[in-house]
Structure 1
Amino acid sequence: MDVRHVMPGRYHHGDLRAELVRASLDLIAEQGLQGFSVAQAARRAKVSPGAPYRHFADRESLLAAVARTITDQLTGRVRTAAESHTDPQAALAAAAGAYTGYLIERRAGLHIVFADGLQGPRHTELHERTRELIDQFLLLCLSVSTSPQLALELLEQLLTQAHGYGTCYLDGFFRRHGYSADLVVRKSTEAARMVIRGYRERAE
């Protein structure tokens, strides 16, 4: 690494690209997407404002790398939650709760993955990883649905609901009522169970 790009008094060891992604994730977790910028990520990583541009062409490129990390982490969380249950309905409900939990913890979810500017052909790797995440949810929905159409409707309902629970917590709505993050995750999971049961009854 060219040490001229490191802030005075500090020498950055390791992979600067990965460090900038980690710094950006931390900024988003602390301040939301509005707290994210290349300059702020550079300050958090303790490098000069110009250093990130050796790895990322612009803010959009860095945000795309952050979004790829989010999809990877979410995919892992969802898979772990689902695999802890043998019953398909319980597995799907747990996956929805895992999404809510991640959103609360990291302030990161599909709103960042689908942020403005990340949908073009520059970001095919992000699109592929996002598809893997959505497909994981869709396969769980198919396992409890009687038709692909119902599975797609259920997927839409559960993702919207899981994201909504997390957003309401982050926006302070649930906290005003004294709800802890763990309680909100449990409520999200239970709400998912009720929706799944409703879709099952609708199909019978």
Structure 2
Amino acid sequence: MTDRKTPTTRATRPTGKHHGDLRNALESAALELIAENGPRGFTLAEACRRAGVSVAAPYKHFADRDALLAALAERGYDEQRRRYGAALASTVDPVEQMARFAAAYVRFAVEERGLFEATFSAGLDKSRYPALAEAGQRLLLVLHDAATRLRPDSKQALGLVHAVAAGAHGFAAFVLEGIYTSAREAEDQAANMARLIAADQPRP
């Protein structure tokens, strides 16, 4: 006989999670699983087990796994906007702004792999998640406004952002896949690539 009392009105959760932090617990668990197995390499049930909550718990906040991924991708866009905005603000030279954006892109992928994968590899239909699409547009606006200092034409400015981001994405993937063993080297290479692209004069 022990003195421990067993609750009769609610089930105990293995990790002692409370409903107040349920959403964060599920998102944190999903990010860990994404970093380990990719955005399609987990189920809601696995996220629940990792978070220490019941399998019915996610439905208080997320309709399904894609809704959870969309929430994480929105966080990813917001975190990128914060990071890239700081990178752009660290210099007044527009070419160097693009270089620092590219380096920050690689750094984000390395330091926030779960968010990076959720943002770019989940294959979500953004038309189903207006908040996600809006977060992406807010991020693009920060980068587009900076790029117009080099490419006053809006279409060319957008092309510059896409070109730099595409190159940086490649270097980020090389780090995550182990092709580059030094994240700093990949950042430097991405920055140099961005300088070349940004300094190149667009064709009329």
What CA distance in whole angstroms lies between the structure 1 residues aligned with 2:77 and 2:42?
18
| Aligned counterpart, 2:26 | 20
Amino acid at match of 1:186: D
Per-residue CA shift, 1:83-142, capped at 9, x if unaligned? 11121221222112111111122224387357333322x311111111001111111111
Q: Say how many residue pairs are matched.
A: 194
What CA distance in whole angstroms lies between the structure 2 residues aligned with 1:66 and 1:143?
32
Report 1:1-204 matches (<5 A).
3-4=10-11, 7-8=13-14, 10-13=15-18, 14-107=20-113, 108-109=115-116, 112-113=119-120, 115-120=122-127, 122-175=128-181, 180-198=182-200, 201-202=201-202
More helix by share: 1
User: SS in structure 2 opposite 1:57?
Assistant: coil
Structure 1 contact 27–41 (Cα < 8 Å) conserved: yes
CA RMSD of aligned residues (A): 2.2
User: SS in structure 2 opposite 1:34?
Assistant: coil
What CA distance in whole angstroms lies between the structure 1 residues aligned with 2:130 and 2:55?
27
TM-score (norm 2): 0.84
List alignment gaps of at least 5 residues for structure 2. Answer: 1-8
Per-residue CA shift, 1:140-183, capped at 9, x if unaligned? 111211422321221121111111110111122223xxxx1111
Structure showing greater Rg: 2
TM-score (norm 1): 0.84
What CA distance in whole angstroms lies between the structure 1 residues aligned with 2:99 and 2:185?
15
After superposition, the Cα gap between the structure-2 partners of 1:82 and 1:164, relative to the gap in structure 1 and judged at 3 Å, is same
Amino acid at match of 2:32: D
**Could you tell me the percent identity over the aligned residues?**
34
What CA distance in whole angstroms lies between the structure 1 residues aligned with 2:10 and 2:136?
36
